[in-house]
Amino acid sequence: MNKKLAGKAALVTGGSRGIGAAIARSLAEDGADVAISYVSSPDKARALVRELQDKGVRAVAFHADQSKPGEVTQLVNKVAEHFGHLDILVNNAGVFITGPVGEVTAADVDRQFAINVGGVNAAVREAAKIMTEGGRIISIGSMGADSSPWPGISDYSATKAAVAAYTRGWARDLGPKGITVNVVQPGPIDTDMNPADGNFATAQKAGTALGRYGRPEEVGATVAFLASKGAAFITGASIAVDGGYSA
């Protein structure tokens, strides 16, 4: 069977669980060698590496704190050294801290921006030095980048809006090198952080056109497409995977 990502090497930050793990699986199923990073789930990271290796690809996990630019820079270079090249960067690691304006601590605001924006920034700047023509940079944003459908998510929305803005700018910067840069903006996705049977699930389902939560593998499939040759003319785009929430 022809694997459309065979010979490619990918890094998925925060890839040990949830959407990140689903993305790693999708890339591996299409033949890519996959590195994942983790900060607090070493057992899950090791288990996923074994699962990916069973798919016939090379896989490895590295510990890295996305809030520390130095560790992110080292991570990108470790992956490139391990595989010999880096073709696909998926910025998935992120945190979701909620609270009304005036009640969220300055430390929580700083942490959220450090991980959701600073970590992405550091990874892209280092990957841009390594990637060659055909490289793919894909960030996982949020429908919250374009709207704030409920109170208490202003800081989170701001971080994801920043990633979307960076995506458009980086697409211009890296276009001449033949590297595409896109952001996937999920809506309600059934994960540990936002389960389909959680306290706010009913309202979130009602907000979608399809009347249901998305599945992590649906985000993974979108990322795998954006990483493929078929998406070579897509760059600077914000791709909604939200069941029509933003329709």
Cα radius of gyration (the chain): 17
Catalytic residue, from 156, 166, 213, 245: name it.
156
Q: Are strands 9-12 and 88-91 parallel, antiparallel or unpaired?
A: parallel
Q: Which of 99, 108, 195, 116 is nearest to 150 (CA)?
A: 99
Our answer to whether residue 38 is catalytic in this structure is no
Contact 84, 130 (CB under 8 A): no
Q: Are 224 and 8 in contact (CB under 8 A)?
A: no
Directed axis angle between helix 119-130 and helix 154-174, to 10°?
10
Q: How far is CA 227 from the centre of its chain?
A: 12
Structure tokens, 206: 């009602």
C-beta separation of 52 from 26 below 8 A: no
Side by side, the strands of the sheet bearing 33-38 are 59-63, 33-38, 9-12, 88-91, 136-140, 180-186, 238-241
* Catalytic site positions: 156
